[in-house]
Amino acid sequence: MSWELLNIIGTIAFAMSGAIVAMEEKYDLFGVWLLALTTAFGGGAIRNLLIGVPVSALWEQEDLFLVAVLVALLIFMLPQLFLPHWGKWGVLADALGLSAFAIQGALMAAERGLPISATISAAVLTGVGGGVIRDLLAGRKPLVLHKEIYAMWAVMAAIVVDHFELSDPLQLFTLLGLITTLRMLSYYYEWNLPARRLGGE
């Protein structure tokens, strides 16, 4: 049940994110669906390659694909219900997607007995991979590479999952709430990792 809920939360949140970015870029319905699906499933596909899970395992998530398609269609058909409020609620949806997928990726690697480096990589790729693909398809600089603390929260989720060997649903959803809250705080208070620019800019 915990695994399925994490999947559903992450899929809905990232499908919304992808669809709305596509709408902001004035993409057609196909473009909205493409960005919704790649945001929701792109990170998982990359993670599967990394940890040795057949990429074809994604096709076993037919119900989640349908959920993502319906979420994107709803946003496309009723933008007035979503776009005016996206600035307020979008960060929450994105934070939930990051947290749910990062934890899911970490669990997937940990359950296979992989080392901490693989657990962290799986968490980061699952949590941010889809968003990076989304931003590249939208012609944007990926958020994770230049603004705010983002991927580091996925790293934290992986370390907690690996160190404490979390499996209890209450523990997992407590971690979900913690990572989501930290991500939102880093957004609102503009916490950033150090950055250097060449040429003294």
Query: 79-120 pLDDT, tens per residue?
Result: 988 888 887 788 888 899 999 999 999 999 999 999 999 999
Q: Which two tokens stand for residue 185?
A: 């705080």
Helices and strands: H and E segment counts in the chain: 7, 0
Average pLDDT over every residue of 128-141: 93
pTM above 0.95, yes or no: no
Predicted confidence at residue 1, as pLDDT, reads: 59
> Which H or E run contains 113?
none
Q: How confident is the model at residue 198 (pLDDT cuts 50, 70, 90)?
A: confident
Predicted confidence at residue 166, as pLDDT, reads: 81
Whether residue 68 has pLDDT greater than 90: yes
Are 134 and 18 in contact, with CB atoms under 8 Å apart? yes
Half-sphere exposure of 144 (CA within 13 A, CB side): 22
The distance in angstroms from the start CA to the end CA of the chain is 50
Between 198 and 42, the more confident residue is 42
Q: How many CB atoms lie within 10 A of CB 33?
A: 20
89 residue type, one letter: W
87 residue type, one letter: G
**Domain ranges for the chain:** 2-194
Helix (H, G, I), strand (E, B) or coil at 165: coil
Whether residue 146 has pLDDT greater than 90: no
